[in-house]
Amino acid sequence: MLQNNSALAQLKQQIRETTPRVQGVIKATDRGFGFLEAEDGTSYFVPPPAMKQVLHGDRVDALVKQEGDKTSVEPDTLLEAGLDRFVARLVKRDGRLSVVPDHPLINNQLRARLKNSLDENTLGDGDWVVARLVRHPLKPDDRGFFAQVDELVVKADNPAVPWRVTLARHALEQASPQFGEQWPLHDEGLEREDWTATPFFTIDGEKTRDMDDALHIETREDVWRLSVAIADPTAYVREGDPVDLEAQTRAFTVYLPGQNVTMLPETLANELCSLKEGEDRPTLVCSLDIHSDGTLGDYRFFAAHVRSHARLVYDQVSDWLEGQGDWTPADDSLATQLKALAAMTEARNAWREEHTLVFKDRPDYAFDVDDAGNVLAVRIEERRVAQRMIEESMIAANACCADLLASRVGHGIFNVHQAFEPEKADQAIEFLATQDISVEREQLLELSRYRELRRALEAREDAWLDARLRRFQGYTNMSAHPGPHFGLGLSAYATWTSPIRKYGDMVNHRLIKRVLKGEDAPAEASQALTEQLTERRRLNRMAERDVKDWLYVRYLGPSAENGEVFDAEIIAINRGGMRVRLSANGATAFVPAPFMHSERDKVVIDDKEGHIQIEGQPRYKLGDNVQVALAEAVETTRSLVARPAT
């Protein structure tokens, strides 16, 4: 018998060695089968029995099998697990524990054990936990999947489930840091000018608590003198202190619908540093000249004590400047400043439109949420004149910061954005050529040339072209060295205007203070720090998106039941269908191919080109405006499903 087993094992090994193999990533479906996406882009079918040995996201080495004209693969060796640390629902059945990962394409029930520090009696069926995969059937000596539960995230009946689960999924902190209530000002050897009598004002949202910028503007001959005062948390927090190290770890305040998790202790973020009306605050100030044609002139950074003389709200200011509403400024001096700021904004915006680049206006969507986690409403927040006034002021002040750090220090925390990653530039050139747009490589990689190209493309007003180009474009990274920001069209950009919310701005504050005191600059920020800042910003944005998706499903459940119709824009096309964004509230929904036509083979999807044909005729493309009817709101996957309304 042993000889027979040995012979069988040798035979299987010989088959493995002679069978063609392929490496790739497993993509699961909700029908039991899956696909292996190879590194060259080829997709291989994985039958249901083989899918029981893998999970979505696993990177595997697989055997290629050919039966007639059908090709499939059998995963053989695990190269990298797609699941490591994960959030899951706990399942308690007949004295046994298992977990179901919180993932739309992983519905496996994995056997589990508790970490020694956890008490099973405190955990209930359906509770949310953090777990780790410790066994995998494709690992040597592992016969099946097995997980360890490391911590309880939140009880199943807690109204805070969407927030707690999302933060846990991205390994973000659940609450603001706690470091006591006493925060004395440190002696930094920095002289602060007294500007408390100067009538600064703030413009923020009605519910904003961490107000970090205040403005003052006066009109001089052919120039506006704009003074931007920024809250100064580094006056309270020494570099290297525990609260500073915690802020460095968190990197940003996390803004979620209905809940913020501050980077700094709330006493600092919302009280001592917040530029509240009538309160004296330590600040860093940049006074800069802006000429009537919108160009920036001289600037000066200095430390000062500042007092906000008025707390203004975006909508009220916009209404007044647009000649509507009941609100009016408290006095003529404030009215004069607001009119001057509006005029400066128009001049500055016009200059940037001609010489740099200006973002297209897109609305924001704000959630009104009650204490039970219910969404009462989703409001459209347009970028009106007051928002643009603050935006242009901050961009100008940050451009001055970038110039100061580049010329006087040589390093800092800079936002660097390449329009196209060098390795994707050739692909972008080939794509543009298919649209009869001939470009040189330098037009994608050199800022001055890119500005010209971007304006020419925008003049086409082609939403499909814009959406297709985004496949090749790069992301904003944090860098210790100056570099171009293609999105803004600026040669360098360094933010210092949100130090309550961004650790990189705290770093830049300390560098500005070194310049003011005539001290030598410290060592530049490490690559580890800039990469961490970039990664934490990515995680924060994903957490915000995930919470919104969860709340959208809850909010739009009744709309799905009633088949309510919405105007929408096509924002993505893949081989399974298309994703749309609802104009009324910003929610995204998926329209599966079977909902586009009763016969699936009549729907031809070109996901690379962003086109969909139905019965041989072009029907949808990226950027199109369409009408869809909501069909399902699935909370387990936080997904909305829609069908074409016409």
Of these residues, 212, 244, 319, 505, which one is catalytic?
Answer: 212
Read off the tokens for 328: 């009016």
Structural contact between residues 435 and 457, judged by C-beta atoms closer than 8 angstroms: no
DSSP 246-276: HHHHH-B-EEETTEEE-SS-HIIIIIISS--
* Pairing between β-strand 611-614 and β-strand 617-621 as defined by DSSP bridges: antiparallel
Residue 547 phi, psi (nearest 5): -65, -40
DSSP label at 120?
G
Q: How many residues does the chain have?
A: 646
Of these residues, 58, 102, 127, 204, which one is catalytic?
Answer: 204
Going by C-alpha positions, the residue among 120, 118, 149, 119 that lies closest to residue 133 is 149
Structural contact between residues 239 and 529, judged by C-beta atoms closer than 8 angstroms: no
Of these residues, 501, 510, 537, 638, which one is catalytic?
Answer: 501
E strand or H helix that includes residue 452: helix 447-460
Q: Which residues pair with 629 in a beta bridge?
A: 565, 643
Of these residues, 58, 102, 127, 210, which one is catalytic?
Answer: 210
CA distance 83 to 162: 21
Q: Is 204 a catalytic residue?
A: yes
Of these residues, 44, 236, 299, 314, which one is catalytic?
Answer: 314
Of these residues, 213, 319, 505, 546, which one is catalytic?
Answer: 213
| Ramachandran assignment for 149, one of left (phi > 0), alpha (psi -120 to 50 degrees), beta (any other) | beta
Structural contact between residues 311 and 303, judged by C-beta atoms closer than 8 angstroms: no
Q: Is 212 a catalytic residue?
A: yes
User: Other C-beta atoms within 10 Å of 18: how many?
Assistant: 7
E strand or H helix that includes residue 203: strand 193-204
CA distance 120 to 124: 8
| Ramachandran assignment for 269, one of left (phi > 0), alpha (psi -120 to 50 degrees), beta (any other) | alpha
Residues marked as catalytic: 204, 210, 212-213, 314, 501
